[in-house]
Copies of this chain bind each other. A is one copy, B any other.
Amino acid sequence: MSTEAVETPALAKSKRDRIIEAAATIFCQDGYAGASIDAVATKASVSRQTIYNHVGDKDGLFKEVVSALTEKSAARFDSLLQTFPTKPHDLNAELTEFSARFLNQLTQDKTSRWLLRLAENESGRYPELFTIWREYGSGRKRSLMAARMSELASGGYLEFDDPVLAARQYMALLTAEWRAEFQLGRFPSEEECTRMAERAAKTFLRAFARR
């Protein structure tokens, strides 16, 4: 995704990171139209010209931000998924714990939220960004999650017709309360996340646990 690592020396790379990080914040705060290069430059403590040197123009900056955030978000999700209870002793307890980790990551990690909002807001104007995001973004997450669901099903823990649907519904149940809180501008605490996770997992298992 970012192949510039070779071309740019150490110091520049750090500066480049500062730029993209600041740009991510500004873009997500103000949208594409509302974000100004000057604001990014100030936030990154960098000259405006340096930004143009690195990414060309505003479009370039935007794409760079999306690319970076997509990558980071995917990596975090992967490492989270490695803690998924594929062969649980106590399915209820372990799925609840995993779900709590999921929600906590969602709460802590501004990156994913920003990316989601960026993608939702600007995908109409930037179909190309849309493509990248669909491929590496939520579509990928869903299919990875579906694979885990399948494992649980073939292990005899769950039963359902369609693993993809099960994954989607699991994530919908899990994020439902969280979304509501977030929309109200609140950031659920760790205990709140745990309770949400309990309720989501409970409903999910009521529907899909093998009887």
Taking Cβ atoms with an 8 Å cutoff, the residues of A that contact B are 29-34, 117, 119-121, 123-124, 130, 134, 138, 142, 165, 168-169, 171-173, 175-177, 180, 183-185, 199-200, 203-204, 206-208
Contacts and interface: CB of A to CB of B under 8 A. Distances in A.
5 contacts: A34-B34, A117-B121, A120-B183, A130-B185, A134-B184
B183 A176 contact: no
Nearest to A204: B207
A203 B207 contact: yes
Given A165-B199, A169-B176, A173-B173, 18 more contacts: A29-B124, A31-B32, A31-B33, A31-B34, A34-B34, A119-B183, A120-B183, A138-B180, A138-B183, A168-B176, A169-B200, A171-B176, A172-B173, A172-B175, A172-B176, A203-B207, A206-B207, A206-B208
Nearest to A206: B207
Contacts of A203: 169, 207-208
A140 to B, nearest CB: 13
Contact of A207 (B31, B177, B185, B207): B207
Contact of A180 (B117, B124, B168, B200): B168
Contacts of A177: 165, 168
Nearest to A31: B31
B33 A30 contact: yes
A5 B171 CA distance: 45
A123 B183 CA distance: 9
A185 B120 CA distance: 10
4 nearest A-B residue pairs (beta carbon) = A33-B34, A172-B176, A206-B207, A207-B207
A210 to B, nearest CB: 12
B34 A32 contact: yes
A207 B204 CA distance: 7
